[in-house]
Each structure stands twice: as C-alpha cells, then as structure tokens.
C-alpha cells in the first residue's frame, strides 16, 4: 500500500509493477528494485516496494 502525495489516502492496488537493476557498486553488486505505479487524484506516482542486492 502507498500513500497518495496529493490527498494522503492509502492506495491499495498498483496499476503496474516492474523490476529494475541499478548500477553496480564498488564491489560489483547491483541493487534490484521492485517499483509500483499507483494512481489517485488523477495523478500517477511511483513507490519502491523492495530493494535487494543481486
């Protein structure tokens, strides 16, 4: 669940989710992000659901 930045309501369902790998750090490990796209008040906003090193 995410909080709308405009009205502050809790948004339960994501419109879309995807995974993205970031740039490698000094040790060569990448951070995998799970990102969700939410919609409320005729605006869309993103929120990171999960971060892990791969």
Domain residue extents for the chain: 2-53
The residue-averaged pLDDT of 14-36 equals 93
Q: What percent of the chain is predicted at pLDDT more than 70?
A: 100
Give pTM, 2 decimals.
0.79
Tokens, residue 47: 């929120």
Q: Please check whether residue 20 is in contact with residue 35, taking contact to mean a CB–CB distance below 8 angstroms.
A: yes
pLDDT band at 22 (very low <50, low <70, confident <90, very high): confident
CA angle 37–40–42, rounded 5-degree value: 105
40/51 Cα distance (integer angstroms): 24
Whole-number Cα distances in Å, 7 to 12, 25, 36: 14, 37, 18
Q: Please check whether residue 15 is in contact with residue 42, taking contact to mean a CB–CB distance below 8 angstroms.
A: no
């Amino acid at each position: 669940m995410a909080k709308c930045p405009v009205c502050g309501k809790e948004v339960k369902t994501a419109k879309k989710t995807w995974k993205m790998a970031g740039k490698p750090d000094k040790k060569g490990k990448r951070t995998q992000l799970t990102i969700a796209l939410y919609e409320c008040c005729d605006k869309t906003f993103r929120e990171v659901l999960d971060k892990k090193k791969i």
